[in-house]
Structure 1
Amino acid sequence: MQDIKIKSVGFDEPAVQLLVAENLQDLSERYGGTGDDTPISAADFTPPNGAFLVAALGDELIASAGWRRHGDDAELKRMFTTKAARGRGVARRMLAAIEESAAAAGCKRVILETGDQQPEAVALYESAGYHRIPDFGYYAGHDSVLSYAKAL
């Protein structure tokens, strides 16, 4: 089996947008609607404002995650692993790569919003040292939102 490689990419690249669309479809199946209506632009993930990473197995993109500045924090967005790639530790590697990227850019912590219909995400974040914080951002006040942070 080929090695999984994590690399920085442009958020607006066509292959990346196909993976993001798969992510949004997964969220839509869990929550209904369009999945995630948070306003996002490619500029959010362009250094020094942030970064967008993908995991590739050969030519196939199997996971994504990005961070964008939120004050002194890095806000994690679009964390996703394809169904076929789940259970291989890819998400944990992506999370570590995001933390490393954000720390190198001077961010003090990573913050994120996830939801109560994503138990595997909640388990990953909690096992990686994230703790609950007051809700923030686009989904603050929504019943199903769960917000987390981890100091870098």
Structure 2
Amino acid sequence: MHGVTTDETSRRRIVFRVLGVGWDDERARVLREAMSEEVGRLYADRGHEAGSRALSIQEDSVLYTGLAVTGDGQGIGHIALRRLRSDVEIKRMYVRPGYRGVGVAGALVDAVEQFARDHGERRIVLATGDRQPEAVGLYRKAGFTPIEIYPPYVHLGKHSKAFAKLLA
């Protein structure tokens, strides 16, 4: 999947593509670490333990890891899809701050949805925090609808928002 977009603020042209990579890809690992640091700061007042449980992921449950890269191969965005009971779940959605708002996140969501469809999945679910309105907006725009919070995030209660999308 490819993307070319113009950043309307700076008028710079951003060329990127989304690749399927291994979970252990170094660029993917670096982006996951950056996400963990950012989310850790965002929710620091709520305690580290709850956030750590919500962000944990077993590598063997990962079905797809998508990486948005620039023309020179720099990792600028990350998304993963894992098996969660009878559904698949988006995890570790992250775009580097300098590349937000220019289509990278939408391309990552499109790539993960295409992977899920290609593999016969019927529904994608996801959970995000209440301090991430941009993420909520992205998922709603992509056709995800609110659902009840589901395990393993029930312990986060009112601080979590959950969404699902049925796939054709």
Q: Which has the higher strand share?
A: 2
* Identity value in percent: 30
Unaligned runs of 5+ in 1: none
| Correspondences of 1:93-112 after superposition (within 5 Å) | 93-112=107-126
Cα deviation for residue 13 of structure 1 reads 2.4
SS at 2:135 equivalent: helix
**Greater than 2 Å deviation, 4+ residue runs:** 33-39
Deviation digits for residues 48-104 of structure 1 (CA, Å, limit 9, x no counterpart): xx1111000122100000111123321000001000110111101100111110111
Q: Which has the higher helix share?
A: 2
Aligned AA (1:28):
G
Pairwise CA RMSD: 1.6
Aligned AA (1:145):
S
| Correspondences of 1:1-150 after superposition (within 5 Å) | 1=13, 3-32=15-44, 33=48, 35-37=51-53, 38-45=55-62, 50-57=63-70, 58-142=72-156, 143-150=158-165
Unaligned runs of 5+ in 2: 1-12
Of 123-132 and 36-45, more deviation after overlay is shown by: 36-45
TM-score (norm 1): 0.90
Larger Rg computed on CA atoms: 2
TM-score (norm 2): 0.82
Aligned AA (1:54):
L
Whole-Å Cα distance in 2 between the matches of residues 127 and 138 of structure 1?
Answer: 25
Contact 2:27 2:74 in 1 (8 A): no
